[in-house]
Amino acid sequence: MSQKLTLTQTQTQRQTQEQRLWLTPQQLLAAKLTSLSLDELRERVETECIENPWLEKRRSTRTKQSRSSLSYDVGERGDTQSFYESLTEQMGEYELTDEEREILEYLIGSLDGNGFISKPMQQIVDELEIYHSIPATEPEVTRLLGVLQQFDPPGIGARNLKECLLLQHPSEKLRGVFELCWDDFTNKRWDRIQERMHLTDSEVEHLRREVQRLNPRPGGNLNDVMDRQMQTIKPDFIVEIDEDGMIHLSLNQGDVPSVKVSDEIPGDGGDGESESFVRSYREKGQLFVDALAQRRETMLSVMKTIIRLQKPFFLEGDEALLRPMRLEDVAGKTGLDLSTVSRVTSSKYVDTPYGMYPLKWFFSGSSIQDGEEVSVRKVKQALQALIEAENKSAPLSDDRLCGLLQQQGYEIARRTVAKYREALGFPPARLRR
């Protein structure tokens, strides 16, 4: 008996287009090194030299040692790393997308000394767009702020004192005091609170003890450290202008030692180390050396591009000369990935003849004046000048400010004027009398 098998073959062709960014081990290491401050980089180099016997460090002689050792107090103090680490670690308890994580990290970085978010939500939305190219919405940022407000310590991320105390889950009766008698509470008028809420003397005493257990400054541990120890910020770049108007850029190495892979085998070579063991350590050492070189090249490339795009400012020091610039502009000019540019510009500083500036300061959105693109910072300067010169007995309304800016050639809406006014710290006209 024979059995005939008929094979029907169906061929299906499926085409899938997928774009992935593959990074080499050196690129991954260089990315990590790029995000480090000078002090953190020095510690990392020291650690690598201890752990790898084939890494040899040597401190180079610098012609500008005095400049490379300069540090500046910019109002940021204390060893705050553990505080922020504690908050960022708590993000692991929530299921977040990469973008949500970035937004939440930015909110944590926006906390003031009391642990509050004092910036308006719209301002944070604008900063996320300008500095990180994240097109977040105000409801989305507010929702993630709600996530932050669930972190420890209780009250963290509040927008004001009242919200801070309410986030600490007071008793129902004390919550009623906050909701109904806030003005009396802040002025310690307990007699009026007692009368309005029909409380007994013992109930008032109990509420006062409960208030004492609440923390009005959930970032107070951070603030206490800030009061104890000044933190100096070392510039990552130094920009100088010579007599001929030429701009000179140097990368500040600070106390970071230069390293190389040693040509000699440590010790007497008689400890029986295998060739593969030696080779693996030497390769690891060379990977680290190459990553350091790539970090240097990347940072200089980004800073040179910023200088080229903002050359009028670096020559004159006039803030009004800053042009609109986004992370995408620098990424396009350097050919670097947007995330790489973001790492270089985060928490990095440049020392100039006009002062020291965080690199993020050079980035801003754009507006239109007489048909040409201008920096939002320039619009804000014009707005500030109008408000400061106004008749204090008859302050200018947002509508009037909008009209005056339009007369100067700025294409701007009244709502935008109100947003910029709030960002500059000016209250509405009725409160400026």
Structural domain contains residue 151: no
Token duo for residue 300: 């200089």
Would the pLDDT of 374 be above 70? no
pLDDT number for residue 15: 44
Structural domain contains residue 351: yes
Structural domain contains residue 226: no
Q: What is the mean pLDDT of residues 406-420?
A: 84
Structural domain contains residue 131: no
Would the pLDDT of 300 be above 90? yes
Q: DSSP readout, 16-81?
A: ---------HHHHHHHHHHTS-HHHHHHHHHHHHHH-TTEEEEPPP-TTHHHHT--B--S-BS--H
User: Final residue of a domain: which of 336, 363, 390?
Assistant: 363
- Do 379 and 349 fall within a single domain? no
pLDDT number for residue 257: 87
- Cα 407 to Cα 396: distance, rounded to the nearest angstrom: 15
- Cα 331 to Cα 309: distance, rounded to the nearest angstrom: 12
pTM, whole model, 2 decimals? Answer: 0.52
Structural domain contains residue 329: yes
Structural domain contains residue 346: yes
pLDDT number for residue 79: 41
- Do 422 and 393 fall within a single domain? yes
- Do 423 and 400 fall within a single domain? yes
List Cα–Cα distances, 58 to 286, 291, 297, in angstroms.
15, 17, 20
Q: Which residue has the tokens 């752990």?
A: 51
Burial bucket for residue 233 (CB in 10 Å: 0-12, 13-18, 19+): buried
**Domain of residue 414, CATH code:** 1.10.10.60
Question: Edge-to-edge strands of the sheet including 372-375?
Answer: 372-375, 366-369, 410-411
Neighbours of 141 (CB within 10 A): 21
- Do 311 and 424 fall within a single domain? no
pLDDT number for residue 143: 94
- Do 323 and 340 fall within a single domain? yes
- Cα 283 to Cα 162: distance, rounded to the nearest angstrom: 57
Nearest by Cα to 114 from 221, 228, 225, 219: 219
Where in 268-358 does DSSP place strands (E)? 349-352, 355-358
Q: What is the mean pLDDT of residues 395-422?
A: 86
- Cα 298 to Cα 290: distance, rounded to the nearest angstrom: 12
Structural domain contains residue 285: yes
Would the pLDDT of 338 be above 60? yes
- Cα 381 to Cα 282: distance, rounded to the nearest angstrom: 55
- Do 341 and 424 fall within a single domain? no
> Residue 153, SS3?
coil
pLDDT of 40-97, one tens digit each?
898 899 988 888 888 887 755 443 433 333 333 333 335 444 567 778 888 888 888 8
Neighbours of 273 (CB within 10 A): 14
Q: How confident is the model at residue 222 (pLDDT cuts 50, 70, 90)?
A: low
- Cα 350 to Cα 363: distance, rounded to the nearest angstrom: 14
Would the pLDDT of 5 be above 70? no
Neighbours of 302 (CB within 10 A): 26
Would the pLDDT of 193 be above 60? yes
Q: How confident is the model at residue 366 (pLDDT cuts 50, 70, 90)?
A: low
pLDDT of 235-277, one tens digit each?
999 999 888 889 999 999 888 888 888 876 554 455 555 677 7
Would the pLDDT of 361 be above 60? yes
Nearest by Cα to 75 from 375, 275, 349, 337: 349
User: Final residue of a domain: which of 363, 395, 415?
Assistant: 363
- Do 376 and 424 fall within a single domain? yes
pLDDT number for residue 430: 81
Would the pLDDT of 185 be above 70? yes
Burial bucket for residue 87 (CB in 10 Å: 0-12, 13-18, 19+): buried
Structural domain contains residue 248: yes
- Do 350 and 376 fall within a single domain? no
- Do 236 and 357 fall within a single domain? yes
Peptide bond into 154 cis (omega under 30): no
User: Final residue of a domain: which of 314, 339, 363?
Assistant: 363
Domain membership of residue 378 as a residue range? 366-431
Domain count of the chain?
2
Would the pLDDT of 302 be above 90? yes
Measured in Å, how far apart are the chain's first and last C-alpha atoms? 108
- Do 411 and 292 fall within a single domain? no
Token duo for residue 256: 């970071």
